[in-house]
Amino acid sequence: MYNTILEKIKNKNIAILGFGKEGISTYKFIRKYLSNQNITIIDKNINLKENNKFLNEDKNITYVLGDNYLDNLNIYDLIIKSPGIKIFNDTLREIEDKITSQIEIALELYRNNIIGITGTKGKSTTSSLLYKILKDQNIDCLLLGNVGNPIFDYIEDIKKDTILVIEMSSYQLDLVKYSPHIGIILNLFEDHLNYHITKKEYHYAKLNIFKYQTDKDYALYTSSNKNILKYIKTNNYKAKFIDINKEFKFINDDIYYKNIKIYNKNAKRLLIGEHNLSNILFILKLAIMLKLDINKTIKSIEEFKPLEHRMEYIGKYNGIDYYNDSIATIPEATINCLETYKDIDTLIFGGLDRGIDYTSFIDYLNNSNINNFICMPETAHRLSEFLKKGNIYKVETLEEAVEIAKNVTKKSCLLSPAAPSYNAFKNFEEKGKKYKELVTNNENK
């Protein structure tokens, strides 16, 4: 079916907007089949050609690089946009019909095969868990999207009945005009205001996963998240909505589905925490919908290893337990982690300030049992003024933070930023890896 994509592209004035991982994937896909097709690569990075030496041999490329890279987008027939590049309304009005993306093309061509998973937090874990469960039951499936697997890299592997588990970020869902057959929103908080500008704009980007569904499609959500519930009540969506909160009944620690005991909340699993239990309920409902073997599904849940940088236990060094939760880029995620690991006495937090509301987070910290707050730029420096308890240390670097933690921690130390890491690191992965390196290199077991 990928020939349909090539027909869409062939002999048109094509632009690839953004040349990160997904942009490179788009380029390689086009070039594999249309070796002489002219392509314009548009990116803010003026060193793009030097950083991607493979482009030097391609004579059919035009470049638009630098600060004015978003000028004159109207001259192209088709613009394949990478996630995270913001096109503001004054430009967007003229070119919206020309913009597409890997996610949108996949939704257009394969929507009936797609289970789309989004949410402010938990989408990578839930997508990866669902993929493991399907693979463990020998079902042809692919794990794609924001989890780090560009769709065009796997386009030749998609068969008629292949299930596509696609993690979808708000950046990817922004501007799409199609929705998946099964759409899932795990939760909805405040995030990514550096891109979406307002909380409402961010939420509506996420809700695009439901917006274009038909009455033959399914939309899974939980009414325990008030943000999602509000939008569902006030928008005229057409899909069959399934409230996970109402699908299962809790009797003590046992979980029932239609009066049949299906799971126990204390069952063996490496995915600890109440928030992960909520994600598991989505998985159990999907298993029922897809007619999977429930016993095998539960076995896969037991075996699933949490992804790196997500409430990750690093180890005990000089009597201190260290945890890495660098994925926590919003306060709700940090609170979830602190609720799970209740004996944390040192918290390292702080990152890029996007102007989100930290009022409830400060209230939580002021009522917690944390003794040491190690505050990093930018957010934690600002929030430190509102902390009314504990020892407060303002630092500039992660190296300083770990050194102080080593000297003041009695039991356990947690890195959980409650903010993005872009002010000092490439991403949360880089920050998490650096933290683990500092902990393991500077301590002796």
List the CATH number of the domain containing 363: 3.90.190.20
> Is 90 in the same domain as 113?
no
- In the sheet with 320-324, reading across from the earlier edge strand, the strands are 312-317, 320-324, 412-415, 346-349, 372-375, 391-394
Rounded to 10 degrees, the C-alpha dihedral 329/335/340/342 comes to 120
Predicted TM-score (pTM) of the model is: 0.91
Both tokens of residue 178? 């199609």
> Is 145 in the same domain as 191?
yes
> What is the CATH number for 135?
3.40.1190.10
Question: Would you say residue 192 has pLDDT above 90?
Answer: no
Q: Report the amino acid identity of residue 267.
A: A
Question: Would you say residue 321 has pLDDT above 90?
Answer: yes
Question: Would you say residue 443 has pLDDT above 80?
Answer: no
Q: Report the amino acid identity of residue 249.
A: K
Digit-coded pLDDT (tens) for 100-120: 999 999 999 999 999 999 999
> Is 326 in the same domain as 194?
no
> Is 323 in the same domain as 343?
yes
Of 82, 100, 118, the one marking the end of a domain is 100
What's the CA gap between 343 and 331, in Å, rounded?
18
What radius of gyration, in Å, describes the C-alpha atoms of the chain?
A: 23
> Is 267 in the same domain as 329?
no
Rounded to 10 degrees, the C-alpha dihedral 77/147/325/355 comes to 20
Of 100, 125, 150, the one marking the end of a domain is 100
Mean pLDDT across the chain, nearest whole number? Answer: 94
Q: What is the pLDDT of residue 89?
A: 74
> What is the CATH number for 12?
3.40.50.720
Place of tokens 């921690």: 409
**Angle made by CA atoms 294, 299, 305, in degrees to the nearest 5:** 130
Q: What is the pLDDT of residue 171?
A: 93
Question: Would you say residue 436 has pLDDT above 90?
Answer: yes
> Is 161 in the same domain as 206?
yes
What's the CA gap between 67 and 200, in Å, rounded?
28
Question: Would you say residue 266 has pLDDT above 90?
Answer: yes
> Is 158 in the same domain as 178?
yes
Do residues 30 and 13 lie in contact, with contact meaning Cβ atoms separated by under 8 Å? no
| Cis-peptide, bond into residue 443, ω within 30° of zero | no
Q: Which residue range is the domain that position 380 belongs to?
A: 312-442
Question: Would you say residue 236 has pLDDT above 70?
Answer: yes
> Is 341 in the same domain as 289?
no
**Count of structural domains, the chain:** 3
Digit-coded pLDDT (tens) for 333-382: 999 999 999 899 999 999 999 888 999 999 999 999 999 999 999 999 99
Question: Would you say residue 445 has pLDDT above 80?
Answer: no
> Is 247 in the same domain as 124?
yes
Digit-coded pLDDT (tens) for 126-184: 999 999 999 999 999 999 999 999 999 999 999 999 999 999 999 999 999 999 999 99
> Is 37 in the same domain as 170?
no
> Is 118 in the same domain as 69?
no
Digit-coded pLDDT (tens) for 237-255: 999 999 999 999 999 999 9
Q: What is the pLDDT of residue 175?
A: 92
DSSP strand pairing (312-317 vs 320-324)? antiparallel
Q: What is the pLDDT of residue 442?
A: 57
Of 259, 284, 303, the one marking the end of a domain is 303
Q: What is the pLDDT of residue 250?
A: 95
What's the CA gap between 365 and 368, in Å, rounded?
5
| Higher-scoring residue by pLDDT: 15, 443 | 15
> Is 113 in the same domain as 81?
no
Please state the three-class secondary structure of the chain as a single string.
CHHHHHHHHCCCCEEEECCCHHHHHHHHHHHHHCCCCCEEEEECCCCHHHHCHHHHHCCCEEEEECCCCCCCHHHCCEEEECCCCCCCHHHHHHHHHHEECHHHHHHHHHHHHEEEEECCCCHHHHHHHHHHHHHHCCCCEEEEECCCECHHHHHHHCCCCCEEEEECCHHHHCCCCCCCCEEEECCCCCCCHHHHCCHHHHHHHHHHHHHCCCCCCEEEECCCCHHHHHHHHHCCCCCEEEEHHHHCEEECCEEEECCEEEEECCCCCCCCCHHHHHHHHHHHHHHHHCCCCHHHHHHHHHHCCCCCCCCEEEEEECCEEEEECCCCCCHHHHHHHHHHCCCCCEEEECCCCCCCCCHHHHHHHHCCCCCEEEECCCHHHHHHHHCCCCEEEECCCHHHHHHHHHHHCCCEEEECCCCCCCCCCCCHHHHHHHHHHHHHHHCCC
67-78: b or e for each residue (b if 16 or more CB lie within 10 Å)?
eebbeebeebee
Digit-coded pLDDT (tens) for 57-101: 999 999 999 999 999 999 999 999 999 898 877 778 789 999 999
Do residues 402 and 280 lie in contact, with contact meaning Cβ atoms separated by under 8 Å? no
Both tokens of residue 252? 């003590």
